[in-house]
Structure 1
Amino acid sequence: MRLTRCLLLQTLKGFDKYAKFHPSPLSLEEMFLFGTKTGTEQSSFEFLRRELPVRLANIMMEMNQLPEPLLNVPSVTMVSNWYKKSFAEILSFENSDGKDLDTLSTFADTLVVIRNRHANVVETMAQGVMELKDRYGEENMDTLQYFLNRFFTSRISIRMLINQHALLYGSQLANHPRHIGCIDPKCNVLEVVKDAYANARFLCEQYYLTAPELELITHGKHDSEEDISIVYVPSHLYHMLFELFKNSLRAVVEHFPVDSTLPKLKVHVCKGKEDLTIKLCDQGGGIPYNNINKLFEYMYSTAPSPSCANSGSAPLAGYGYGLPLSRLYAQYFQGDLVVSSVDGFGTDAYIYLKVLSNEANECLPIYNKTSARMYESDVVVSDWTSSPKSPQNSRTFSTLSRTYQPRT
């Protein structure tokens, strides 16, 4: 019992210590050069044993600021306990110098255990949000949206660092001999596009027995497909494209009558001096302008919720986390994901990536007074006049005239 209390006290002191620091963002170029030229297992250990506690402590501080009803939801409590346990495990290496091979091996194994522990964080947190909405409706949703964007970005960054160390120095082999950890120095964008489309099409044909064809168009002067390549993380790009393809395929199939000829999905790829842009165009009927921003709200989906009985195969749509997370993956390395639409015709989605790896810096949340203030108010007060559909404008003219009647 006394040993448990000592460990708990040590963890709390470590939490207070590391929460005061800001994360140190890295660029893709720095990660790539570290994996090929400048880095060693010991230097990676030295960096991670200090950086991971900072990133964990920062996001845990924000988690503690969440509304009490959400923190008490069992799924969210479970996620919180995972983070506390992982923080304590990393903290146990705080005073190690990394010169002992056994320490380095244990550290690499610990990182893999942490990564596996957090594998289902997205689904578990989604379950907690669903439970909260069922109990309390839309209350605190603006605060929750703010938190989830920062929470999942932090998760992406932590997994990125862990994967790099595990693939470079652990027992796990990289997916491709060319890869440096999980980074591909010559990520062939067109190959990833084709792979994501093929897998999304397979799902679409499973559900609808048909799917639109793909038309891939490149712009600019390129001698071969390999010229349209950048230093990037293929799994991140695949995630974005797969989600966009799933949405477009479903929209097109459902928009057109059965047995009709489906228009192709058009994907334009252009590598400029600063940006690599991927534009996906579909003719799936489009989205009303008022709903564009909702696409990036967690738990918003135009598809029916997937059935638990269908767990044998991946759902085509329905959870509402695909686009929000995809945009976070794009923004993580200073890119973006933007959606525009022509209601009644179709939707265009743009993925922007940095061509220069030294400009692809991590975009990380920082816990400070500004972020803490975002959790203090439960109600967001608008500083603009409301739209006609807003409840604030639901009062009749006669009510308003009585309200502002001059005194006699």
Structure 2
Amino acid sequence: ASLFVSICISILKLPLSENYILDLFIGSTNGCERTSFAFLRQELPVRFANILKEIDLLPDKLLSTPSVKLVRSWYIQSLKELIEFHQKSPDDQKVLSDFIDTLIRVRNRHHDVVPTMAQGVIEYKDTFKVDPVTNQNIQYFLDRFYMSRISTRMLMNQHTLLFDDKSGSGHPRHIGSIDPCCDVVEVVNDAYESAKMLCDQYYLTSPELKLTQVNGKAPGEPINIVYVPSHLFHMLFELFKNSMRATVEFQENSSTLSPVEVTVVLGKEDLAIKISDRGGGVPVRKIERLFSYMYSTAPRPNVDDSRNTPLAGFGYGLPISRLYAKYFQGDLNLYSICGYGTDAIIYLKALSTESIEKLPVFNKSASKHYQATSEADDWCVPSKDPKNMAKQSAAS
């Protein structure tokens, strides 16, 4: 097994476009399943082995935490189970059936990877002093680790949704988890309604939605793209929650709440979704912290509760949402005016041929990131947090 893992690490991962993923799963049912099996039995072990190698480059003190040990054991076990299919025949129906069962087992095993790894980071921070270099290395790793997880779940979901007779039929228009004609405005409205329900439950009020859509490719036509609706919903739901909470809290003394304004624009190359609120904004110095796994100030939940409240309390909503956007070569950016409000913009590729997976590659360059040491800054850099000048003058 260890020899095979070494071979897997030496094989470059194949980043797939949405078009390729669709083509991989379209065709005569059995032939298509065999093609998918032949591809995944090689590609999944490569992706698992590569990220497992990066886990092993983490600081020893982080690796020694119970939660990270548990996550590592899941990856080792899953890799072993996937390797077993390397030499098996795709023409054997039992092999194909067993492969589906294995994918479901692996997917279920990794269900709580995000909160468990987050718990490991908390255990590390609680026990050891964390320096800026370690923060940077962990941020680098977690972005790659969670992106790798998004990619492997995407491939496993595609295969099981299409070829597992026991899973039931999904949305008739979808090919696995991909919607070839994803109605962007419909997903925006769904995400808004879900966030509004939470906001109403907690605050007993919520801001209205003001929606503008511009189809620059086909004026007057609905805005549709090839995309994964669940990924888009995840991003929008997170942004709506943040905007609604900020608006309600910033305008708590107002008789009416400013609406959350959403602008959806489809251009020749990009789809952009801008969510604007009047929630008071955040200081510029805090923007990057919102995307940091190490700076969360949210309350710490019990990992056992994670199935009911995914990611709740770990402060991972924004960084994970940005990874979903980047997965198919998009992005998610925040632009804030302190004292006024915030614009969040999701950028996605308008063309499915350009929507290609963004995958971490383990090589010498990646390895160097984990060996970074603290160096003196060659710019004069002020403190990250503003000083209290009143206290300073009193002390002098």
Normalised by the length of structure 2, the TM-score is 0.91
Residues 313 and 255 of structure 1: CA distance in aligned 2, closer, same or farther (over 3 Å): farther
Is residue 126 of structure 2 the alignment partner of residue 134 of structure 1? Answer: yes
Deviations 1:252-275 (A, max 9, x none): 111112463110000000000110
Number of paired residues? 379
In the aligned structure 1, how far is the partner of 2:33 from the partner of 2:304? 45
Please name the residue that 2:314 is paired with.
Answer: 319
Please name the residue that 1:119 is paired with.
Answer: 111
Please name the residue that 2:3 is paired with.
Answer: 13
Residues 303 and 256 of structure 1: CA distance in aligned 2, closer, same or farther (over 3 Å): farther
Structure 2's unaligned 5+ residue stretches are 386-396
1:294-313 to structure 2, matched below 5 A, reads 294-301=289-296, 303-305=298-300
Higher CA-based Rg: 1
Residues 368 and 333 of structure 1: CA distance in aligned 2, closer, same or farther (over 3 Å): same
In the aligned structure 2, how far is the partner of 1:297 from the partner of 1:200? 23
Residues 308 and 236 of structure 1: CA distance in aligned 2, closer, same or farther (over 3 Å): closer
Q: Of 255, 261, 264, which aligns to 2:256?
A: 261
CA shift for structure 1 position 307: 8.0
Please name the residue that 1:54 is paired with.
Answer: 46
Is residue 162 of structure 2 the alignment partner of residue 168 of structure 1? Answer: yes
Please name the residue that 1:381 is paired with.
Answer: 375
Is residue 358 of structure 2 the alignment partner of residue 366 of structure 1? Answer: no
Deviations 1:361-403 (A, max 9, x none): 00000100000111113x3435531322269xxxxxxxxxxxx
Deviates more, 1:155-164 or 1:31-40: 31-40
Residues 42 and 317 of structure 1: CA distance in aligned 2, closer, same or farther (over 3 Å): closer
Is residue 185 of structure 2 the alignment partner of residue 190 of structure 1? Answer: yes
Please name the residue that 1:343 is paired with.
Answer: 338
Please name the residue that 1:101 is paired with.
Answer: 93
Q: SS at 1:267's partner residue? A: strand
Q: SS at 1:240's partner residue? A: helix
Q: Of 135, 144, 161, which aligns to 2:138?
A: 144
In the aligned structure 2, how far is the partner of 1:252 from the partner of 1:308? 29
Q: Of 240, 246, 249, which aligns to 1:245?
A: 240
Conservation of the 8 A alpha-carbon contact between 2:332 and 2:346: yes
Q: SS at 2:26's partner residue? A: helix
In the aligned structure 2, how far is the partner of 1:264 from the partner of 1:363? 34
Is residue 66 of structure 2 the alignment partner of residue 91 of structure 1? Answer: no
Q: Which amino acid aligns with 1:131?
A: E
In the aligned structure 2, how far is the partner of 1:311 from the partner of 1:368? 33
Q: SS at 1:292's partner residue? A: helix
Is residue 61 of structure 2 the alignment partner of residue 64 of structure 1? Answer: no
Please name the residue that 1:206 is paired with.
Answer: 201
CA shift for structure 1 position 296: 0.7
Residues 309 and 168 of structure 1: CA distance in aligned 2, closer, same or farther (over 3 Å): closer
Please name the residue that 2:393 is paired with.
Answer: none
Conservation of the 8 A alpha-carbon contact between 1:299 and 1:321: no
Across the aligned residues of Structure 1 and Structure 2, the Cα RMSD in angstroms comes to 2.2
Q: Which amino acid aligns with 2:14?
A: S
Q: Of 323, 326, 333, which aligns to 1:331?
A: 326
Residues 390 and 220 of structure 1: CA distance in aligned 2, closer, same or farther (over 3 Å): closer
Q: Of 12, 17, 35, which aligns to 1:27?
A: 17
Conservation of the 8 A alpha-carbon contact between 1:277 and 1:351: yes
